[in-house]
Amino acid sequence: MQTTEQIKPFRIAIPQDQLDDLTERLRGTRFPAPLPGDGWDTGVPVAYLRELVEHWLHGFDWRAQEATLNAYPQFTTEIDGQPIHFLHVRSTEPGALGVGTHPRVARIQRPSSSMSSARSPTRARTAATRPTRSIS
Protein backbone atom coordinates (compact mmCIF):
# COMPACT_ATOMS: atom_id res chain seq x y z
CA MET A 1 0.00 0.00 0.00
CA GLN A 2 1.39 3.34 -1.04
CA THR A 3 0.50 6.28 1.15
CA THR A 4 1.55 9.85 1.51
CA GLU A 5 2.19 11.31 4.92
CA GLN A 6 1.11 14.72 3.75
CA ILE A 7 -2.13 15.79 5.40
CA LYS A 8 -3.51 19.11 4.18
CA PRO A 9 -6.17 21.29 5.79
CA PHE A 10 -9.30 21.51 3.65
CA ARG A 11 -12.37 23.74 3.46
CA ILE A 12 -15.29 23.36 1.11
CA ALA A 13 -15.59 26.41 -1.12
CA ILE A 14 -17.58 25.70 -4.28
CA PRO A 15 -17.36 28.63 -6.70
CA GLN A 16 -20.70 30.35 -7.31
CA ASP A 17 -20.40 29.86 -11.08
CA GLN A 18 -20.37 26.08 -10.53
CA LEU A 19 -23.52 26.28 -8.40
CA ASP A 20 -25.15 28.50 -11.04
CA ASP A 21 -24.22 25.92 -13.70
CA LEU A 22 -25.74 23.14 -11.60
CA THR A 23 -28.94 25.15 -11.20
CA GLU A 24 -29.20 25.67 -14.95
CA ARG A 25 -28.59 21.98 -15.62
CA LEU A 26 -31.25 21.00 -13.09
CA ARG A 27 -33.72 23.45 -14.64
CA GLY A 28 -32.99 21.92 -18.04
CA THR A 29 -33.61 18.34 -16.92
CA ARG A 30 -35.71 16.41 -19.43
CA PHE A 31 -37.53 13.59 -17.71
CA PRO A 32 -38.54 10.44 -19.59
CA ALA A 33 -42.10 9.21 -19.58
CA PRO A 34 -42.59 6.79 -16.68
CA LEU A 35 -42.70 3.12 -17.56
CA PRO A 36 -45.82 1.16 -16.64
CA GLY A 37 -45.51 0.29 -12.95
CA ASP A 38 -42.75 2.90 -12.59
CA GLY A 39 -40.99 1.42 -9.55
CA TRP A 40 -37.49 0.73 -8.32
CA ASP A 41 -37.40 -2.64 -10.08
CA THR A 42 -37.25 -0.79 -13.43
CA GLY A 43 -34.74 1.84 -12.30
CA VAL A 44 -35.18 5.11 -10.46
CA PRO A 45 -38.86 6.10 -10.56
CA VAL A 46 -39.44 9.26 -12.57
CA ALA A 47 -41.57 10.77 -9.79
CA TYR A 48 -38.66 10.31 -7.38
CA LEU A 49 -36.28 12.02 -9.82
CA ARG A 50 -38.67 14.93 -10.20
CA GLU A 51 -38.85 15.34 -6.40
CA LEU A 52 -35.07 15.13 -6.14
CA VAL A 53 -34.53 17.80 -8.79
CA GLU A 54 -37.18 20.00 -7.14
CA HIS A 55 -35.39 19.59 -3.79
CA TRP A 56 -32.01 20.52 -5.28
CA LEU A 57 -33.53 23.55 -6.99
CA HIS A 58 -35.68 24.91 -4.17
CA GLY A 59 -35.15 22.99 -0.94
CA PHE A 60 -31.39 22.54 -0.61
CA ASP A 61 -29.24 25.40 0.63
CA TRP A 62 -25.73 24.59 -0.54
CA ARG A 63 -24.12 27.51 1.30
CA ALA A 64 -25.74 26.47 4.59
CA GLN A 65 -24.51 22.89 4.07
CA GLU A 66 -21.06 24.18 3.20
CA ALA A 67 -21.00 26.25 6.41
CA THR A 68 -22.13 23.26 8.49
CA LEU A 69 -19.35 21.08 7.10
CA ASN A 70 -16.76 23.86 7.37
CA ALA A 71 -17.56 24.20 11.08
CA TYR A 72 -15.53 21.01 11.56
CA PRO A 73 -11.78 20.62 10.99
CA GLN A 74 -11.35 18.88 7.63
CA PHE A 75 -8.29 17.46 5.93
CA THR A 76 -7.24 15.57 2.82
CA THR A 77 -4.54 13.00 2.21
CA GLU A 78 -3.83 10.27 -0.31
CA ILE A 79 -3.89 6.51 0.26
CA ASP A 80 -3.11 4.09 -2.56
CA GLY A 81 -3.45 6.90 -5.08
CA GLN A 82 -6.95 7.78 -3.87
CA PRO A 83 -7.68 11.18 -2.40
CA ILE A 84 -9.22 10.86 1.06
CA HIS A 85 -11.27 13.63 2.70
CA PHE A 86 -11.85 13.37 6.44
CA LEU A 87 -12.97 15.32 9.48
CA HIS A 88 -10.93 15.38 12.67
CA VAL A 89 -13.09 16.09 15.70
CA ARG A 90 -11.82 15.35 19.19
CA SER A 91 -14.05 13.97 21.92
CA THR A 92 -14.75 16.00 25.03
CA GLU A 93 -14.43 12.75 27.02
CA PRO A 94 -10.96 11.99 28.41
CA GLY A 95 -9.59 8.69 27.16
CA ALA A 96 -12.25 8.30 24.46
CA LEU A 97 -11.35 5.94 21.65
CA GLY A 98 -11.04 7.42 18.19
CA VAL A 99 -13.45 6.64 15.40
CA GLY A 100 -11.81 5.85 12.08
CA THR A 101 -14.11 6.34 9.16
CA HIS A 102 -17.78 5.85 8.61
CA PRO A 103 -18.80 3.91 5.50
CA ARG A 104 -22.00 5.90 5.02
CA VAL A 105 -21.63 9.07 3.01
CA ALA A 106 -24.67 10.49 4.81
CA ARG A 107 -22.55 10.78 7.94
CA ILE A 108 -20.26 13.25 6.26
CA GLN A 109 -23.18 15.06 4.64
CA ARG A 110 -24.97 15.47 7.98
CA PRO A 111 -22.22 15.29 10.56
CA SER A 112 -23.88 17.24 13.35
CA SER A 113 -25.76 14.36 15.01
CA SER A 114 -22.97 11.80 14.66
CA MET A 115 -20.29 14.33 15.67
CA SER A 116 -22.25 15.35 18.76
CA SER A 117 -22.43 11.71 19.83
CA ALA A 118 -18.75 11.10 19.13
CA ARG A 119 -17.57 14.26 20.86
CA SER A 120 -19.66 13.79 23.99
CA PRO A 121 -20.79 10.17 24.34
CA THR A 122 -22.05 10.67 27.91
CA ARG A 123 -24.42 13.42 26.78
CA ALA A 124 -25.45 11.28 23.79
CA ARG A 125 -26.34 8.35 26.07
CA THR A 126 -28.44 10.65 28.24
CA ALA A 127 -30.18 12.10 25.18
CA ALA A 128 -30.83 8.60 23.86
CA THR A 129 -33.12 7.90 26.79
CA ARG A 130 -35.41 10.76 25.77
CA PRO A 131 -38.13 10.24 23.15
CA THR A 132 -37.17 11.44 19.69
CA ARG A 133 -39.03 12.06 16.48
CA SER A 134 -38.08 10.45 13.21
CA ILE A 135 -36.08 12.37 10.65
CA SER A 136 -37.22 12.07 7.08
What gap in Å lies between CA 82 and CA 62, rounded to an integer?
25
**Residue 102 contacts by C-beta under 8 Å, 6 or more apart in sequence?**
108, 114
> Tens digits of per-residue pLDDT, 54-88?
999 999 999 999 999 999 999 999 999 999 988 88
- Residue 30, pLDDT > 70, answer yes
Among 106, 110, 102, 104, smallest CA distance to 72 is for 110
What gap in Å lies between CA 8 and CA 88, rounded to an integer?
12
What is the reported pLDDT for 122? 59
pTM, rounded to two decimals:
0.63
- Residue 130, pLDDT > 50, answer no
What gap in Å lies between CA 135 and CA 106, rounded to an integer?
13
As a residue count, the chain comes to 136
> Tens digits of per-residue pLDDT, 103-127?
544 455 555 555 555 555 555 555 4
- The SS3 call for residue 33 is coil
